């Protein structure tokens, strides 16, 4: 016999499934293959914050009120990021991957799930210092338009600069980090020239198409929110987007290890989650 708690959870999961189906059918955003643990956590948070009685009420609201859907969209997209996050891996990118990238006449890089842009600006700085930026085209994409707008602006809170500077130094930075921004009251504004090789674009990994002939795909701390099936589909997207011998850089908790497509990649630096597409 099931107890009430199990029963409640079963009903809640069913309501969540209906909610996701409704969001997809009504607005085209597909969260159906995100991890249930992530969905439950974030939707319960919204339930409480908006004082709604249950997920059923949330379904009604989402179908009838676009602004509520947009609120939910923000809840489901976690934008936590920082410049030179995991600095030791940036050091490895600098020392091990950039020299390999230099063997191509022109280099295309895709940052999928770039959030507010800190990761992509870190890459632009690194490539500049290694003399490669001018030969690169960087695509920075996310499906969260509010995050993308911030990314395009390149303005960050001043109180984060100490952390960014420390990360930059640990990542093998060759200059003074302050060369790359001007301070203005409570913010730092990144220098405009850092943006010249970057194209920011709205792109949904689940429903939009592949990029082509990339030398490097960076997708860190995005796939952790997806279930195994969706992760597998996205790995295929990355495989199709990379040129033979191109590199894939995942987040610290993500891996190709158990993936069926893993055998079509070489685990170049498995601890750092850097893979190479087979030739
Ligand atoms: C935690 S942030 C990671 C930011 C950065 N890559 C990093 O590691 O610092 C995750 C980002 O993935 C984005 N994201 C989640 N699902 C997505 C999807 N289906 N398509 C595109 N971006 C997505 C979110 O909007 C969010 O900006």
Is-contact 112 214, C-beta < 8 A? no
Indicate if ligand 1 lies below 6 Å from the C-beta of 146. Answer: no
Q: Which pLDDT value is given to residue 1?
A: 44
The whole-number average pLDDT for the span 175-196 is 97
Indicate if ligand 1 lies below 6 Å from the C-beta of 237. Answer: no
Q: Say how many Å lie between the CA of residue 2 and the centre of ligand 1.
A: 37
Q: Say how many Å lie between the CA of residue 3 and the centre of ligand 1.
A: 37
Per the structure block, which two tokens stand in for 193? 């020239």
Indicate if the pLDDT at residue 50 is higher than 50: yes
Q: Which pLDDT value is given to residue 3?
A: 59
Q: How far apart are CA 53 and CA 47, in angstroms?
A: 7
Domain 87-277 falls in which CATH fold? Rossmann fold (3.40.50)
Q: Name the H helices within 171-248.
A: 228-241
Is-contact 180 115, C-beta < 8 A? no
Question: What does the pLDDT look like over 220-243, one tens digit per residue?
Answer: 999 999 999 999 999 999 999 999
Q: Which pLDDT value is given to residue 5?
A: 85
User: Where along the chain do its domains lie?
Assistant: 4-76, 87-277
Tell me the best of 39, 86, 115, 272 to mutate to test the pocket of ligand 1, counting ligand atoms within 8 Å of each CB and taking the most.
Answer: 115
Indicate if ligand 1 lies below 6 Å from the C-beta of 207. Answer: no
Per the structure block, which two tokens stand in for 86? 């995991």
Q: How far apart are CA 186 and CA 262, in angstroms?
A: 45
Q: Say how many Å lie between the CA of residue 152 and the centre of ligand 1.
A: 15
Per the structure block, which two tokens stand in for 211? 């990029």
User: Which residue's CA lies nearest to atom 27 of ligand 1?
Assistant: 115
Indicate if the pLDDT at residue 69 is higher than 60: yes
Residue with tokens 């499906």: 143
Indicate if the pLDDT at residue 4 is higher than 80: no
* Among 226, 227, 269, residue whose Cα is nearest residue 248: 269
User: Which residue's CA lies nearest to atom 23 of ligand 1?
Assistant: 113
Indicate if ligand 1 lies below 6 Å from the C-beta of 252. Answer: no
Question: What does the pLDDT look like over 100-117, one tens digit per residue?
Answer: 999 999 999 999 999 999
Q: Which pLDDT value is given to residue 8?
A: 85
CA 127 to chain centre: 20
């Amino acid at each position: 016999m099931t107890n009430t708690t199990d029963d409640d959870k079963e009903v809640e999961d069913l309501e969540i499934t209906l909610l996701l189906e409704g969001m997809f059918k009504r607005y085209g955003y597909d969260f159906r293959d995100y991890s249930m643990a992530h969905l439950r956590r974030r939707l319960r948070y919204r339930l409480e914050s908006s004082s709604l009685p249950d997920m059923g009420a949330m379904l009604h609201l989402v179908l009838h009120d676009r602004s509520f859907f947009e609120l939910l969209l923000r809840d489901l997209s976690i934008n936590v990021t920082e410049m030179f996050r995991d600095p030791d891996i940036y050091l490895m990118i600098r020392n091990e991957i950039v020299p390999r990238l230099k063997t191509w006449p022109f280099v295309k890089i895709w940052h999928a799930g770039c959030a507010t842009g800190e990761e992509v600006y870190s890459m632009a700085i690194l490539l500049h210092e290694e003399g490669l930026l001018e030969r690169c085209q960087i695509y920075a994409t996310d499906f969260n338009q509010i995050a993308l707008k911030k990314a395009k602006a390149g303005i960050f809170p001043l109180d984060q600069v100490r952390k960014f500077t420390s990360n930059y130094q640990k990542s093998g930075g060759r200059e003074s980090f302050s060369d790359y921004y001007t301070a203005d009251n409570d913010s730092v504004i990144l220098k405009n020239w850092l943006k010249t090789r970057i194209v920011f674009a709205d792109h949904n990994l689940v429903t939009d198409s592949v990029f082509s002939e990339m030398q490097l795909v960076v997708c860190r701390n995005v796939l952790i929110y997806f279930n195994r099936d969706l992760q597998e589909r996205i790995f295929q997207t990355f495989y199709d987007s990379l040129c033979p011998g191109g590199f894939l850089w995942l987040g610290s908790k993500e891996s190709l290890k158990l993936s069926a497509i893993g055998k079509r990649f070489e685990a170049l630096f498995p601890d750092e989650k850097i893979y190479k597409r087979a030739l």
